[in-house]
């Protein structure tokens, strides 16, 4: 396997890790005021992701950095064509991060309510737009012979990409709902389990349609991974309704993994297809860095990736217990 192919796979792995981990973060944020009856419940929800949400975003930074270093033309075309959409995602993530930090700074109901809304919006916007972005990456965008994006922002709002956005939005919300059932107790857990059925129905409808469309367009391995994703999603909903949230969370995570693999399998060997002329498409070959750059990156990845994985795994192990209302100190906001 060529180094270009290896780095295509590694970037797929990074995006998969980001969607699985940040996916339940987004889900918790979107459900912040849906599954809580008072401020203590909302503090419980925030505390389930408090120790890990910022670490989960590291996967996004590494995926972006790896794309820039391994496939600079892909990175350049993405950021020129998707500039507005990516800027909106960035602003939403910044607002979300600030909201987590500022929410408890002032003992005011109105203050906390406004920051809660910021968390919900800052979680919903990226969850939707990441699906739209990857839908366009797989579907293709207009590129000229110099690989310059020649379309407009509204070209990105095509039916396939919008369905991809609804798929990620609903699946991440379901993933977060199951995570809350796994990490909480009492009424919050009960409400999360009850919400899993309607959320699961929406996720199966949107994600199933998106996966079927993707597999029908690209065939091959995409069908295998799409079917695996759909089966895992259905099982996740079934186990969640049955109150087996641990197995359900594994299933929703597998569904996200299989969905991301479906997209990258459908994309390969392209990294950004051109809808203007297939000859203008960016591929793993014509968009890559030099072999020397890829060799250096490979050694760096081999040396440091295990350290990062061990550290993040240790973090999840330390904070593995359920969060209860009793664990919220009196007066904490």
Mean pLDDT computed over 275-298: 94
- pLDDT, one tens digit per residue, over 111-121 is 999 999 999 99
Domain range summary for the chain, segments of one domain joined by +? 3-326
Distances (CA, A) of 246 to 26, 60, 189, 207, 234: 19, 26, 12, 22, 15
Q: Check whether 333 has a pLDDT greater than 60.
A: no
> At which residue do the structure tokens 């990156």 appear?
297
Which band of pLDDT confidence, cut at 50, 70 and 90, is reported for residue 216?
very high
State the pTM of this model: 0.94
* CA-wise closest residue to 206 among 127, 140, 265: 127
Mean pLDDT computed over 80-94: 93
Mean pLDDT computed over 149-162: 92
Q: Check whether 331 has a pLDDT greater than 70.
A: no
Q: Helices 245-267 and 109-139, interaxial angle, to 10°?
A: 40
């Amino acid at each position: 396997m060529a180094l270009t192919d290896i780095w295509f796979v590694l970037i797929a792995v990074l995006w998969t890790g980001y969607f699985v981990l940040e996916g339940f973060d987004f889900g918790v944020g979107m459900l912040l005021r849906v599954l809580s009856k008072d401020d203590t419940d909302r503090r419980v929800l925030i505390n389930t992701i408090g120790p890990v949400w910022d670490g989960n975003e590291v996967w996004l930074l590494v995926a972006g950095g790896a794309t820039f270093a391994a496939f600079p033309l892909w990175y350049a075309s993405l950021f020129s064509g998707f500039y507005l959409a990516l800027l909106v995602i960035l602003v939403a993530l910044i607002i979300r991060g600030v909201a987590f930090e500022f929410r408890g700074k002032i003992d005011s109901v109105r203050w906390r309510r406004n920051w809660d809304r910021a968390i919900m919006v800052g979680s919903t916007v990226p969850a939707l737009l990441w699906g739209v972005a990857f839908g366009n990456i797989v579907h293709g965008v207009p590129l000229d012979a110099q690989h310059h994006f020649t379309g407009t922002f509204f070209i990105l709002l095509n039916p396939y990409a919008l369905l991809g956005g609804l798929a990620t939005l609903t699946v991440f919300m379901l993933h977060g709902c199951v995570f809350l059932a796994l990490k909480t107790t009492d009424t919050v857990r009960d409400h999360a389990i009850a919400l899993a059925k309607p959320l699961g129905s929406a996720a199966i409808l949107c994600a199933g349609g998106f996966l079927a469309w993707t597999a029908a367009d690209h065939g091959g391995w995409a069908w295998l991974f799409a079917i695996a994703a759909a089966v895992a999603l259905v099982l996740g909903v079934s186990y969640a309704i049955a109150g087996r949230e641990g197995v359900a969370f594994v299933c929703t995570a597998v569904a996200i993994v299989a969905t991301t693999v479906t997209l990258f399998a459908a994309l390969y060997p392209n990294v950004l297809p051109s809808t203007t002329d297939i000859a203008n498409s960016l591929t793993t070959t014509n968009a890559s860095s030099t072999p020397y750059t890829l060799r250096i990156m490979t050694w760096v990845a081999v040396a440091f990736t295990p350290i990062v994985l061990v550290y993040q795994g240790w973090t999840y192990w330390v904070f593995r217990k359920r969060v209860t209302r009793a664990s919220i100190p009196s007066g904490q906001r």
